[in-house]
Protein backbone atom coordinates (compact mmCIF):
# COMPACT_ATOMS: atom_id res chain seq x y z
CA UNK A 1 0.00 0.00 0.00
CA UNK A 2 2.73 2.45 1.06
CA UNK A 3 4.83 1.46 -1.94
CA UNK A 4 1.82 2.22 -4.16
CA UNK A 5 1.56 5.77 -2.77
CA UNK A 6 5.34 6.25 -3.25
CA UNK A 7 5.02 5.24 -6.88
CA UNK A 8 2.29 7.86 -7.39
CA UNK A 9 4.74 10.57 -6.25
CA UNK A 10 7.44 9.31 -8.63
CA UNK A 11 8.45 11.57 -11.54
CA UNK A 12 10.37 9.74 -14.26
CA UNK A 13 14.03 10.79 -14.62
CA UNK A 14 13.69 13.26 -11.69
CA UNK A 15 12.82 11.31 -8.57
CA UNK A 16 14.46 8.05 -7.51
CA UNK A 17 12.40 4.90 -7.89
CA UNK A 18 11.02 4.15 -4.39
CA UNK A 19 12.76 0.81 -3.94
CA UNK A 20 14.18 1.50 -0.48
CA UNK A 21 10.89 0.38 1.05
CA UNK A 22 9.74 -3.21 1.21
CA UNK A 23 9.34 -4.03 -2.45
CA UNK A 24 9.56 -7.31 -4.25
CA UNK A 25 10.65 -6.01 -7.64
CA UNK A 26 14.06 -4.46 -7.01
CA UNK A 27 16.03 -7.74 -7.49
CA UNK A 28 14.46 -7.96 -10.97
CA UNK A 29 16.51 -4.90 -11.98
CA UNK A 30 19.44 -7.29 -12.51
CA UNK A 31 17.71 -8.62 -15.66
CA UNK A 32 17.96 -5.54 -17.94
CA UNK A 33 21.50 -4.84 -16.72
CA UNK A 34 22.62 -8.40 -17.47
CA UNK A 35 20.90 -8.31 -20.87
CA UNK A 36 22.63 -5.03 -21.74
CA UNK A 37 26.07 -6.22 -20.65
CA UNK A 38 25.63 -9.49 -22.56
CA UNK A 39 24.44 -7.77 -25.74
CA UNK A 40 27.28 -5.22 -25.85
CA UNK A 41 29.89 -7.84 -24.94
CA UNK A 42 28.72 -10.25 -27.63
CA UNK A 43 28.47 -7.40 -30.16
CA UNK A 44 32.17 -6.82 -29.58
CA UNK A 45 33.23 -10.46 -29.59
CA UNK A 46 31.18 -11.93 -32.46
CA UNK A 47 32.06 -11.44 -36.12
CA UNK A 48 28.45 -11.12 -37.28
CA UNK A 49 25.49 -9.65 -35.48
CA UNK A 50 22.90 -12.48 -35.82
CA UNK A 51 25.32 -14.71 -33.90
CA UNK A 52 25.82 -11.94 -31.33
CA UNK A 53 22.07 -11.65 -30.69
CA UNK A 54 21.76 -15.44 -30.28
CA UNK A 55 24.76 -15.82 -28.00
CA UNK A 56 23.87 -12.81 -25.85
CA UNK A 57 20.69 -14.57 -24.67
CA UNK A 58 22.76 -17.48 -23.34
CA UNK A 59 25.27 -15.12 -21.72
CA UNK A 60 22.52 -13.06 -20.06
CA UNK A 61 20.96 -16.20 -18.59
CA UNK A 62 24.40 -17.37 -17.39
CA UNK A 63 25.03 -14.01 -15.65
CA UNK A 64 21.60 -14.01 -13.97
CA UNK A 65 21.92 -17.64 -12.79
CA UNK A 66 25.46 -16.92 -11.57
CA UNK A 67 24.29 -13.87 -9.62
CA UNK A 68 21.37 -15.79 -8.07
CA UNK A 69 23.72 -18.61 -7.02
CA UNK A 70 26.26 -16.11 -5.64
CA UNK A 71 23.50 -14.29 -3.71
CA UNK A 72 22.22 -17.61 -2.32
CA UNK A 73 25.72 -18.68 -1.28
CA UNK A 74 26.43 -15.33 0.38
CA UNK A 75 23.06 -15.40 2.15
CA UNK A 76 23.92 -18.91 3.41
CA UNK A 77 27.32 -17.77 4.67
CA UNK A 78 25.76 -14.71 6.36
CA UNK A 79 23.12 -16.89 8.04
CA UNK A 80 25.78 -19.39 9.15
CA UNK A 81 27.99 -16.61 10.58
CA UNK A 82 25.00 -15.06 12.37
CA UNK B 1 25.65 -8.34 -43.71
CA UNK B 2 26.50 -4.65 -44.18
CA UNK B 3 28.76 -5.08 -41.15
CA UNK B 4 31.35 -7.04 -43.06
CA UNK B 5 31.12 -5.62 -46.60
CA UNK B 6 32.34 -2.04 -46.32
CA UNK B 7 36.02 -1.49 -45.71
CA UNK B 8 36.74 2.22 -45.35
CA UNK B 9 40.02 3.14 -43.65
CA UNK B 10 39.44 5.67 -40.90
CA UNK B 11 41.89 7.03 -38.34
CA UNK B 12 41.68 4.99 -35.10
CA UNK B 13 41.98 8.21 -33.10
CA UNK B 14 39.00 9.74 -34.92
CA UNK B 15 37.04 6.51 -34.43
CA UNK B 16 37.81 6.58 -30.69
CA UNK B 17 36.72 10.22 -30.33
CA UNK B 18 33.51 9.62 -32.28
CA UNK B 19 32.77 6.47 -30.27
CA UNK B 20 32.96 8.54 -27.08
CA UNK B 21 30.83 11.37 -28.48
CA UNK B 22 27.97 9.05 -29.48
CA UNK B 23 28.11 5.39 -28.38
CA UNK B 24 28.37 3.23 -31.52
CA UNK B 25 29.47 6.03 -33.85
CA UNK B 26 32.91 4.44 -34.15
CA UNK B 27 31.39 1.27 -35.65
CA UNK B 28 29.18 3.42 -37.90
CA UNK B 29 32.28 5.09 -39.38
CA UNK B 30 33.70 1.63 -40.10
CA UNK B 31 30.51 0.71 -41.94
CA UNK B 32 29.29 -1.73 -39.25
CA UNK B 33 25.87 -0.20 -38.92
CA UNK B 34 23.93 -3.03 -37.23
CA UNK B 35 26.64 -3.28 -34.59
CA UNK B 36 26.64 0.52 -34.18
CA UNK B 37 22.87 0.76 -33.67
CA UNK B 38 22.81 -2.23 -31.30
CA UNK B 39 25.61 -0.84 -29.14
CA UNK B 40 24.20 2.72 -29.18
CA UNK B 41 20.66 1.70 -28.21
CA UNK B 42 21.85 -0.67 -25.48
CA UNK B 43 24.27 1.79 -23.85
CA UNK B 44 21.89 4.77 -24.01
CA UNK B 45 18.99 2.68 -22.66
CA UNK B 46 21.14 1.41 -19.76
CA UNK B 47 22.23 4.98 -19.01
CA UNK B 48 18.66 6.33 -19.08
CA UNK B 49 17.44 3.40 -16.97
CA UNK B 50 20.07 4.36 -14.38
CA UNK B 51 18.63 7.88 -14.21
CA UNK B 52 15.06 6.51 -14.14
CA UNK B 53 15.97 4.26 -11.19
CA UNK B 54 18.19 6.65 -9.21
CA UNK B 55 16.68 9.98 -10.25
CA UNK B 56 18.56 12.79 -11.98
CA UNK B 57 20.64 13.39 -8.82
CA UNK B 58 22.39 10.09 -9.48
CA UNK B 59 24.57 12.25 -11.72
CA UNK B 60 26.92 13.62 -9.12
CA UNK B 61 29.84 15.44 -10.78
CA UNK B 62 33.01 16.04 -8.74
CA UNK B 63 33.42 19.60 -7.50
CA UNK B 64 29.73 20.35 -7.07
CA UNK B 65 28.08 20.19 -3.69
CA UNK B 66 24.78 18.93 -2.33
CA UNK B 67 22.97 22.13 -3.30
CA UNK B 68 24.26 22.36 -6.88
CA UNK B 69 26.95 25.00 -6.36
CA UNK B 70 30.71 24.64 -6.71
CA UNK B 71 32.42 23.50 -3.52
CA UNK B 72 34.94 26.16 -2.42
CA UNK B 73 38.19 25.74 -0.51
CA UNK B 74 38.74 28.22 2.29
CA UNK B 75 41.73 28.56 4.61
CA UNK B 76 41.35 30.06 8.05
CA UNK B 77 44.26 32.03 9.40
CA UNK B 78 44.62 32.34 13.16
CA UNK B 79 45.73 35.50 14.97
CA UNK B 80 49.38 34.37 15.24
CA UNK B 81 49.44 34.17 11.43
CA UNK B 82 51.00 30.71 11.45
CA UNK B 83 48.23 28.14 11.44
CA UNK B 84 46.13 27.67 8.37
CA UNK B 85 43.21 25.28 8.45
CA UNK B 86 41.73 24.28 5.14
CA UNK B 87 38.02 23.57 4.97
CA UNK B 88 35.52 22.79 2.24
CA UNK B 89 32.47 25.02 1.94
CA UNK B 90 29.36 23.58 0.29
CA UNK B 91 27.48 26.75 -0.73
CA UNK B 92 23.70 26.86 -0.50
CA UNK B 93 23.32 29.92 -2.74
CA UNK B 94 25.04 31.77 -5.58
CA UNK B 95 26.02 34.52 -3.12
CA UNK B 96 27.72 32.02 -0.81
CA UNK B 97 29.46 30.46 -3.79
CA UNK B 98 30.84 33.88 -4.79
CA UNK B 99 31.89 34.71 -1.24
CA UNK B 100 32.29 31.60 0.93
CA UNK B 101 34.38 33.34 3.61
CA UNK B 102 32.69 33.29 7.02
CA UNK B 103 34.82 36.07 8.54
CA UNK B 104 37.77 38.35 7.82
CA UNK B 105 40.33 35.69 8.75
CA UNK B 106 39.09 33.36 6.01
CA UNK B 107 41.04 33.33 2.77
CA UNK B 108 39.25 31.89 -0.27
CA UNK B 109 41.47 29.56 -2.31
CA UNK B 110 38.98 28.87 -5.08
CA UNK B 111 36.78 26.05 -6.40
CA UNK B 112 37.81 22.64 -5.06
CA UNK B 113 37.53 21.06 -8.52
CA UNK B 114 40.24 23.42 -9.80
CA UNK B 115 42.44 23.42 -6.68
CA UNK B 116 42.29 19.66 -5.98
CA UNK B 117 40.78 17.93 -9.05
CA UNK B 118 42.10 14.45 -8.21
CA UNK B 119 40.91 14.63 -4.60
CA UNK B 120 37.46 15.63 -5.81
CA UNK B 121 37.38 12.77 -8.33
CA UNK B 122 38.56 10.35 -5.65
CA UNK B 123 35.49 11.32 -3.60
CA UNK B 124 33.18 10.33 -6.46
CA UNK B 125 35.08 7.69 -8.47
CA UNK B 126 31.90 6.39 -10.11
CA UNK B 127 31.81 9.58 -12.21
CA UNK B 128 34.90 8.31 -14.08
CA UNK B 129 32.75 5.41 -15.32
CA UNK B 130 29.72 7.58 -16.01
CA UNK B 131 31.62 10.15 -18.08
CA UNK B 132 32.76 7.42 -20.50
CA UNK B 133 29.20 7.51 -21.89
CA UNK B 134 30.11 10.79 -23.58
CA UNK B 135 28.46 14.23 -23.66
CA UNK B 136 25.15 12.71 -22.55
CA UNK B 137 26.75 12.46 -19.08
CA UNK B 138 27.79 16.11 -19.13
CA UNK B 139 24.29 17.20 -20.18
CA UNK B 140 22.67 15.03 -17.46
CA UNK B 141 25.16 16.38 -14.88
CA UNK B 142 24.26 19.96 -15.80
CA UNK B 143 20.54 19.17 -15.40
CA UNK B 144 21.32 17.48 -12.06
CA UNK B 145 23.26 20.51 -10.77
CA UNK B 146 20.44 22.90 -11.66
CA UNK B 147 17.81 20.56 -10.20
CA UNK B 148 19.74 20.38 -6.92
CA UNK B 149 19.68 24.15 -6.32
CA UNK B 150 17.26 25.25 -3.61
CA UNK B 151 14.14 26.97 -4.96
CA UNK B 152 14.52 30.75 -4.94
CA UNK B 153 12.58 32.42 -2.16
CA UNK B 154 12.67 36.10 -1.15
CA UNK B 155 14.35 35.27 2.16
CA UNK B 156 16.36 32.23 1.13
CA UNK B 157 19.61 33.65 2.48
CA UNK B 158 17.90 34.73 5.71
CA UNK B 159 16.44 31.27 6.28
CA UNK B 160 19.87 29.71 5.91
CA UNK B 161 21.27 32.02 8.56
CA UNK B 162 18.22 31.80 10.79
CA UNK B 163 18.72 28.11 11.46
CA UNK B 164 16.12 26.74 9.04
CA UNK B 165 17.69 23.92 7.03
CA UNK B 166 18.06 24.72 3.33
CA UNK B 167 16.18 22.26 1.13
CA UNK B 168 17.68 20.87 -2.06
CA UNK B 169 15.63 21.56 -5.21
CA UNK B 170 15.39 17.85 -5.99
CA UNK B 171 16.52 15.59 -3.20
CA UNK B 172 19.33 13.17 -3.97
CA UNK B 173 18.51 9.49 -3.89
CA UNK B 174 19.74 7.12 -1.20
CA UNK B 175 20.33 3.46 -0.49
CA UNK B 176 19.21 0.94 -3.12
CA UNK B 177 17.88 3.38 -5.69
CA UNK B 178 21.11 5.40 -5.63
CA UNK B 179 23.32 2.29 -5.71
CA UNK B 180 21.46 0.63 -8.57
CA UNK B 181 21.11 3.90 -10.52
CA UNK B 182 24.85 4.60 -10.17
CA UNK B 183 25.64 1.01 -11.13
CA UNK B 184 23.56 1.25 -14.32
CA UNK B 185 25.08 4.58 -15.43
CA UNK B 186 28.66 3.54 -14.57
CA UNK B 187 28.29 0.14 -16.27
CA UNK B 188 26.91 1.90 -19.37
CA UNK B 189 30.06 4.04 -19.42
CA UNK B 190 32.37 1.05 -18.94
CA UNK B 191 30.63 -0.78 -21.78
CA UNK B 192 31.18 2.28 -23.97
CA UNK B 193 34.88 2.14 -23.05
CA UNK B 194 34.95 -1.44 -24.38
CA UNK B 195 33.34 -0.31 -27.64
CA UNK B 196 35.76 2.64 -27.95
CA UNK B 197 38.74 0.28 -27.60
CA UNK B 198 37.24 -2.32 -29.94
CA UNK B 199 36.26 0.19 -32.64
CA UNK B 200 39.70 1.81 -32.44
CA UNK B 201 41.37 -1.59 -32.73
CA UNK B 202 39.23 -2.55 -35.74
CA UNK B 203 40.10 0.81 -37.38
CA UNK B 204 43.83 0.28 -36.82
CA UNK B 205 43.62 -3.27 -38.22
CA UNK B 206 41.84 -2.01 -41.31
CA UNK B 207 44.37 0.77 -41.79
CA UNK B 208 47.32 -1.63 -41.62
CA UNK B 209 45.81 -3.94 -44.27
Q: Using an 8 Å Cβ cutoff, are B208 and A54 in contact?
A: no
User: Do A19 and B170 count as a contact with CB atoms less than 8 A apart?
Assistant: no
pLDDT of the residue at B10: 87
User: Do A20 and B177 count as a contact with CB atoms less than 8 A apart?
Assistant: yes
Residues in chain B with CB shorter than 8 Å from the CB of A17 are 52-55, 177, 181
Computed on alpha carbons and rounded to an integer, the radius of gyration of chain A in Å comes to: 17
The B-side interface with A (CB below 8 A) comprises 1, 3-4, 34-35, 38-39, 42-43, 45-46, 48-49, 51-58, 147, 170, 173-178, 180-181, 183-184, 187-188, 191, 194-195, 198
* B107-144 CB burial, b ≥16 within 10 A, e <16: eebebbbeebeeebbeeeeebebbbbbbebbeebbebb
Q: How far apart are CA B109 and CA B71, in angstroms?
A: 11
Report the phi/psi class of residue B32: left, alpha or beta, with left for phi > 0 and alpha for psi in -120 to 50. beta
User: Do B187 and A37 count as a contact with CB atoms less than 8 A apart?
Assistant: yes
Q: Could you report the predicted ipTM of this complex, rounded to two decimals?
A: 0.88
> pLDDT tens string for chain B (209 positions)?
445 545 668 899 999 999 999 999 999 999 999 999 999 999 999 999 999 999 999 999 999 988 999 999 888 777 666 667 788 888 888 888 888 877 777 788 889 999 889 999 999 999 999 999 999 999 999 999 999 998 876 655 544 555 567 788 788 888 889 999 999 999 999 999 999 999 999 999 888 87
Q: Using an 8 Å Cβ cutoff, are B205 and B8 in contact?
A: no
* CA triple B189-B191-B193, angle to 5 deg: 70
Least confident of A29-38, A60-69, B108-117, B131-140: B108-117
Indicate the domain borders of chain A. Answer: 28-81
Please give the sequence-ordered ranges of beta strands (E in DSSP) within chain A, or none if there are none. none
CA-based nearest distance B35→chain A, Å: 6
Half-sphere exposure of B164 (CA within 13 A, CB side): 11
Amino acid sequence: MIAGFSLLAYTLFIDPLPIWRESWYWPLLIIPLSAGVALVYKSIRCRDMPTAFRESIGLAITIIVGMVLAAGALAGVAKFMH
Amino acid sequence: MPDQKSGRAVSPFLVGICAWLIPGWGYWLLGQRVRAITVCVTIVVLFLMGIAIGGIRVMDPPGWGEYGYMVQLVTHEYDDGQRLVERRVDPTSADEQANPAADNDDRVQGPAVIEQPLAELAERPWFAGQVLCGPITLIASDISIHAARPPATPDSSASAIGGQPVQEGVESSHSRSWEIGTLYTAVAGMLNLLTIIDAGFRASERKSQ
